[in-house]
Amino acid sequence: MSKITGRDLGKGSEKIDPWKSIEVKNYEQLMKNFGIEPFGPVLKKLKNPHLLMKRGIIFGHRGFDLILKAIKKKEDFAMMTGLMPSGKFHFGHMILAQQMIYYQQLGAKLFVCVADIEAYNMRKIPMEKLRETAIEEYLVNYIALGLKPKNCDFYFQSDRSVPYYRLISMLGRRTTLNELKDIYGDISPAKIVSVLTQVGDILHPQLEEYGGPKPVVVPVGIDQDPHIRLTRDIAQRVKNEFKFFLPSATYHKLLPGLKGGKMSSSDPFSYISLTDTPEEVKTKIMKYAFSGGGNSIEEHRKYGGNTDVDVSFQYLRFIFEPDDKKLQKIKEDYESGKMLTGELKSIVIEKIQKFLTEHQKKREKAKDKVHLFLKE
Ligand code: TRP
């Protein structure tokens, strides 16, 4: 079999550029192309899998067996993730926050990186602005969602320690320009810095200064897979020098944008942010949420709706209807034509409004806790 790389996936298959928002049509094909393992078999071995796991939204993994083993034997393990502080915190980001909190409750040590160096280089956002967004949008929402300061190392790339930067610098000789071109296509100094920094993010929790070698899981959207592949390859190459465990990763499907395609931070009508007002939620769902319903009431009653493409239904499935039976009932009623698009939209609007009213109160309280996370 020929080697498959980040950009050249052959006819009809997807390319992954971690700096562009992508839309995946065929996850199965993608898993095959990149050698991502299905999550199903490991799901059965978790005592309390997260809803996102049970629903198949977290669909794949690399090396998750190490994490299972650590959980089972009550050994140290960590969860590492990073955030690009470039805009509003929306429901797409919330899916990752839920996983962070899930692992924290399971006993993992959390490493949460503000990718300010990456955002500065790749998105050309001023440093001060990045810091403000990271705190007011990301951190405040994480806290309101349940993230605790204990066992959570929240850091800015630009502020990290000498051992972290020493590691990143030493990774320079462990890859080649050709390899980077192969994975990322066009390559630039800004990308090289961002990529090596992210490899350092993922590997540094295993340095002695951060508690030594241990299994580390990185939950990501599929767009980050190029970085995961490179990091795992580099971890192999340094194994004589650093006794790193190969980092593990899980992959979640991307929450669809309101209009059905991808979410884009430049288009506020493509997402719902966690600071949107109840009126905004209503307008966004009513006016913009892509419907899988029939073109007319008659048609809908006759043929039913398509829940696979219906954004309101997908928001219930991803987040807002945790009860499987209720979700199934809505699915059946909508697909049979018994439930109309307007009715489905009302359900989701009500659920989101209720959630956000509570959440926004929690956000106010969370602001007093921010300092507990900013120790470095
Ligand atoms: N590149 C990631 C993004 O675009 C952010 C990031 C930086 C990251 N370092 C990381 C993600 C380490 C996971 C692990 O969102």
Please check the confidence at residue 235 and state whether its pLDDT lies above 60.
yes
> Is 80's C-beta closer than 6 angstroms to any atom of ligand 1?
yes
Task: Output the pLDDT for position 376.
Answer: 57
**Which of 2-16, 60-74, 278-292 is predicted least confidently?**
2-16
Q: Which two tokens stand for residue 47?
A: 């005592």
pLDDT tens-place string over residues 123-142: 999 999 999 999 999 999 99
**Top mutation candidate among 22, 80, 84, 192 for ligand 1, by most atoms within 8 Å of CB:** 84
pLDDT digits (tens, 9 = 90+) for 331-376: 999 999 999 999 999 999 999 999 999 999 999 999 999 999 997 5
CA distances to 115, 116, 125 from 128, in Å: 13, 10, 9
Tokens (6 digits) for 171:
């990774």
Output the residue whose Cα is nearest ligand 1's atom 10: 82
Indicate whether residue 198 lines ligand 1 (CB < 6 A).
yes
* Sequence-ordered alpha helix ranges (H) in the chain: 27-34, 40-43, 51-54, 65-72, 91-106, 116-123, 127-133, 140-145, 162-170, 177-184, 189-203, 225-237, 278-283, 297-303, 311-315, 324-336, 341-366
Supply the pLDDT for residue 64. Answer: 98
For the packed helices 225-237 and 189-203, what is the interaxial angle rounded to 10 degrees? 70
Residue 8 has pLDDT above 90, yes or no: no
- Do residues 321 and 337 touch, judged by C-beta distance below 8 A? no
The more confident residue out of 4 and 119 is 119
Q: pTM of the full predicted structure?
A: 0.94
Ligand 1 pocket, residue 119 CB under 6 Å: no
Calculate mean pLDDT across residues 8-33.
73
- For the cut 60, the answer to whether the pLDDT of residue 12 exceeds it is no
CA of 3 to the centre of ligand 1 (A): 25
Percent of the chain at pLDDT exceeding 70: 96
- Distance CA(158)–CA(164), nearest Å, equals 11
Q: How confident is the model at residue 9 (pLDDT cuts 50, 70, 90)?
A: very low
Nearest CA residue ID for atom 14, ligand 1:
81
Instruction: Tell me the average pLDDT across 30-43.
Output: 94
Q: Is the CB of 113 under 6 A from ligand 1?
A: yes
User: Which pLDDT tens digit goes with each residue over 196-232?
Assistant: 999 999 999 999 999 999 999 999 998 899 999 999 9
- Residue 158 Cα to ligand 1 midpoint, Å, equals 14
Task: Calculate the average pLDDT of the chain.
Answer: 94
Rounded distance from Cα 351 to ligand 1 centre (Å): 30
- Residue 165: Cβ within 10 Å count: 14
Quick one: how many helices (H) and strands (E) in the chain? 17, 7
Q: Take atom 11 of ligand 1 and give the residue whose Cα is closest.
A: 82
How confident is the model over 176-189, as a mean pLDDT? 94
Residue nearest to atom 6 of ligand 1 (CA): 82
Position 245 confidence tier, pLDDT thresholds 50, 70, 90: very high
Angle (CA) 77 83 85, round 5°: 155
